[in-house]
Amino acid sequence: MRMLAGISAALALLLVIYAFEFPPVDSVQRGYRGLAMEENSNPRVDRAKVRANQLPEPAPATDPAGQKASQVYTNLKVLGDMDANEFLRLMTDMTTWVSPDQGCAYCHDENDLAADRPYTKIVSRRMLEMVRYINGSWKTHVADTGVTCWACHRGQPVPASVWYFDAPRTAQGQAGNRAGQNVASAAGGITALPVDPFTPFIKDGKDIRVLSGTALPAGNRASIKQTEWTYSLMMHISKGLGVNCTYCHNSRSFFDWDQSTPQRTTAWYGIRMTRDINTQFLEPLTPQFPANRLGPTGDVAKVNCATCHEGVYKPLYGASMIKDYPILVGPAPARTASAAPAAK
């Protein structure tokens, strides 16, 4: 019995140790006093995040070739108007961003660089179009900082933080269907909240707001179940950006836009940008990928907030990613249903 008691005490101590943040903890006030609008951070964790969020040095600048890339190379469908030497410089940096170990052969047939093989050549071309689209059409979220391949890939062929459709989960015996939750979920902050908040909100565009505008149901059925899905998404955003709820919301009135911080507007555009990327660029590429690159239900990897942010409030702490690559800022398209909504 004494041994059992000792083991129980040790386990309880471990739980206390790992459940709380080791001091010291810094606190920054982001709103009026008395509203608990504070951001808490640990300097030790912050230092590790800074080391992990560095922008690689660009390839050295080159003298202009005086010829367009399309005049020197064949089968260029996206960057043909670039100077030929600048094109090679960008290709060098893309190798650093996406496949530093695999090299050029990750996206090119080394015996025929112009060929549309392997499949990664087709995918990377579409990703270049996506990067230019984001930088040209979603300034409401990325501003003039912009994005490059490095924003998501960080030197890996597959970004570290992507998501797939969740395979259906059923419990044994009388427990029945888990209803998409009630298991420890990384997306929901290791809670029993719904395990896949991304499909309804970041793919399907369901309404994230759960507060009813009337005393009685009148077209807006806001249930506890719906609230749990929203909480799961908010947990993901909080973890993905490394911030508290009060980074975007006023704790006095979480739903009220007039009392929220400016970051809430930026996040509003970010959610819609992510949805746009998944539906317009990534999902249509599904047939190009081999089976081993697809998820358990056969879907392609998709992005969420953590894909670019990687635990910090601004990707790479706001370092400008496109100042050396103006070609990666595409023209803003005409207003369409899928184009970025204009700032209000």
- Measure the CA–CA gap between 235 and 233, rounded to whole angstroms: 5
Query: How much is the pLDDT for 100?
Result: 96
Q: Has residue 277 got a pLDDT over 90? A: yes
Q: What is the 3-state secondary structure (H, E, C) of 34-62?
A: CCCCEEEECHHHHHHHHHHCCCCCCCCCC
92 exposure class (CB count in 10 Å sphere: 0-12, 13-18, 19+): middle
Any binding-site annotation on 308?
yes
Any binding-site annotation on 152?
yes
185 or 170, higher pLDDT: 185
In tens, the pLDDT along 285-333 reads: 999 999 999 999 999 999 999 999 999 999 999 999 999 999 999 886 5
Which candidate, 211, 261, 267, places its Cα nearest to that of 237?
A: 267
Any binding-site annotation on 235?
no
Among 40-49, 74-83, 152-161, 304-313, the least confident range: 40-49
Q: Write the CA distances from 4 to 7, 16, 22, 76, 93, integer angstroms.
A: 5, 18, 28, 70, 58
Q: What does the block give as tokens for 203?
A: 């793919």
Query: How much is the pLDDT for 217?
Result: 63
Q: Has residue 219 got a pLDDT over 70? A: no
- Measure the CA–CA gap between 142 and 150, rounded to whole angstroms: 14
Contact 163, 301 (CB under 8 A): yes
- Measure the CA–CA gap between 115 and 138, rounded to whole angstroms: 32
Which candidate, 309, 315, 246, places its Cα nearest to that of 41?
A: 246
Any binding-site annotation on 130?
no
Q: Does domain 161-167+179-213+220-309 have CATH number 1.10.468.10?
A: yes
Any binding-site annotation on 236?
no
Any binding-site annotation on 108?
yes
Any binding-site annotation on 305?
yes
Any binding-site annotation on 107?
yes
Under CATH, what is the fold of the domain 44-154?
Photosynthetic Reaction Center, subunit C; domain 2 (1.10.468)
Average pLDDT, the chain: 86
| Interval 119-125 mean pLDDT | 96
pLDDT range class, residue 259, cuts 50, 70, 90: confident
In tens, the pLDDT along 60-90 reads: 988 998 999 999 999 999 999 999 999 999 9
Where are the CATH 1.10.468.10 domain residues in the chain?
44-154, 161-167+179-213+220-309
The backbone torsions φ and ψ at residue 68, rounded to the nearest 5 degrees and listed phi first, read: -70, 150
| Interval 38-43 mean pLDDT | 84
| Interval 208-224 mean pLDDT | 70
